[in-house]
Structure 1
Amino acid sequence: MKTFWVIFAWIVFGIVAIIYQQGNWNAPANELFQIWFWVGVFASPWIGLILVFKFYKMFWGGLTRYTSREWHRGYYMDDEL
């Protein structure tokens, strides 16, 4: 749920920034800024989710593996799959 609010806030921030910028058409490289801003708005939550998922698997998988009774008995949990 926390991730949802982070993504929601990020998208709302993007929309507010774009609306604010509509009044500033004289800003340099305006179109380029808008394109990259929207790329960032839509890409970064997904990149963040992927990274969080990878780190979660890496750290939590490592912790559960090395503290599990299976490891102490001499084989990995993955071997049961």
Structure 2
Amino acid sequence: MFVVSKLLSIVSRTSFQAPVSAPGGLYDTFVRYNIRNHFPRPSERKRIKVHGWKKRMSTPGGQRVIMRRILKGSYVYTH
């Protein structure tokens, strides 16, 4: 009986709490990272190495590119 009352108290406490919102910011960005299958096949590794998130964030110019795309409202920031 104690276990049931404890379980009901936990359920009642959690059901009436406000939902926790997900953290926002740069961690919720959409980045293209899927390898595409085109013919003739382009160099997908080179595309990601040159235009990818890690490369953009590693240089001040790349950070400016990402910030410009964020301010523009683009859905995809990098490849």
TM-score clears 0.5 = no
The structure with the largest helix share of the pair is: 1
Task: Calculate the TM-score normalised by the size of structure 2.
Answer: 0.29
Structure number with higher relative contact order (C-alpha < 8 Å, ≥ 6 residues apart):
2
Question: TM-score if structure 1 supplies the norm length?
Answer: 0.29
